[in-house]
Amino acid sequence: MSKLVTIYGGSGFVGRYIARRMAMEGWRVRVAVRRPNEALHVRPYGVVGQVEPVLCNIRDDASVRAVMQGADAVVNCVGILHEVGKNRFDQVQAEGPARVARLATEEGVAQMVHVSAIGADARSDSAYARTKALGEEGVLQHFPRAMILRPSIIFGPEDGFFNRFAGMSRFGPVLPLVGASTRFQPVYVDDVAQAAVQGILGRAEPGIYELGGPEVGSFRELMQMMLDEVRRKRLIVNVPFPVANAMATVLGALQVMTLGLFTNSLLTRDQVRQLRRDNVVAEGARGFADLGIEPTPMDSVLPGYLWSYRPAGQYAAIHESASNLRRH
């Protein structure tokens, strides 16, 4: 019988790429999610019955253990960018990974991969960064031979980074940024998946790997690249951190006052804290080179999905060609 991998959060942005690659490897894939009916898109990644979404709540021991039964490997991709309802940073990003690791050891699972993030720091004033670090500590405490991946900002067709700001560029002449000079090292989502597969198959040494693409750029430079790609001219304006903090405070208060009817996914005080720090691979850290993976440059991927934000959409090339003819 083919081997089985359970991917917690396997229908999300990164998880779906790992699921697809593991199906191509011939493994059975169990995609553990809170709402299986919203994860049916993973089924076509393999033959009938090979990739199946199953119900799981990472905050519950019995639930996590049940979907792990019989697995040869587990992957944890669960993470949140902001707190909503019962999904708190401590429970999801600190306790959740430790729970998966502890139960994986008890169940005799052979391999574990945990997707964390660059900037994970137990001493950080950012709850996101702090709980990411605590999650890593919990994983290594219970499953010392685990592979931990720390990607920089991840890009790809379903990303919430370039897509978000490309969408914002449609409205008004100004594109406001918090932390315009903060540096990032964007990494392609399928490269992260490829690294995870190395860990699942036992082809990589255990430990922490920091994953960044071949290019490092400031927030402003990345947004200018995006604007060039969507053929829009916008004035990029840096929002000072004190102003951003005040805005985030108001948005957070609005979420509280509306009892969660309004979810502040725009800007939180914790995100403002994160944007004060560069998000690049640390010098001397293990990374793609140690896994034999050549990271994908942005310009080979971004045009494939940002074209939809151009004023003429799929007809942009025709319009540009016609404009060139008129000039001549």
For residue range 165-194, list pLDDT tens digits in order: 999 999 999 999 999 999 999 999 999 999
**What confidence score (pLDDT) does residue 84 get?**
80
**What confidence score (pLDDT) does residue 262 get?**
86
pLDDT at 102 over 70: yes
Q: Is residue 15 part of a domain?
A: yes
Contact between 214 and 295 under an 8 Å Cβ cutoff? The reply is: yes
Q: Is residue 79 part of a domain?
A: yes
Higher pLDDT, 316 or 285: 285
Q: Is residue 72 part of a domain?
A: yes
Q: Distances from the Cα of 73 to the Cαs of 36, 79, 108, 201, 233, in angstroms?
A: 20, 19, 9, 8, 47
- Residue numbers of the domain that contains 27: 4-157+186-214+279-296
pTM for the whole structure:
0.93
Confidence at 312, pLDDT banded by 50, 70, 90? confident
For residue range 104-114, list pLDDT tens digits in order: 999 999 999 99
- What CATH number did the domain enclosing 202 receive? 3.40.50.720
Token pair for 119: 């900037």
* Secondary structure (3-state) at 153: coil
Q: Is residue 64 part of a domain?
A: yes
Residues 6+ apart with CB under 8 A from 256: none
Closest C-alpha among 138, 83, 101, 93 to residue 119: 93
Q: Is residue 110 part of a domain?
A: yes
Q: Is residue 191 part of a domain?
A: yes
Q: Is residue 219 part of a domain?
A: no
pLDDT at 322 over 70: no
Mean pLDDT of all residues in 36-63: 95
**What confidence score (pLDDT) does residue 128 get?**
95
The total of structural domains in the chain comes to 1
For residue range 229-250, list pLDDT tens digits in order: 999 999 999 999 999 999 999 9
How deeply is 283 buried, as exposed, middle or buried, from its count of CB atoms within 10 A (0-12, 13-18, 19+)?
A: exposed
Backbone angles phi, psi at 6, to 5 degrees: -105, 125
**What confidence score (pLDDT) does residue 282 get?**
95
Q: Is residue 99 part of a domain?
A: yes
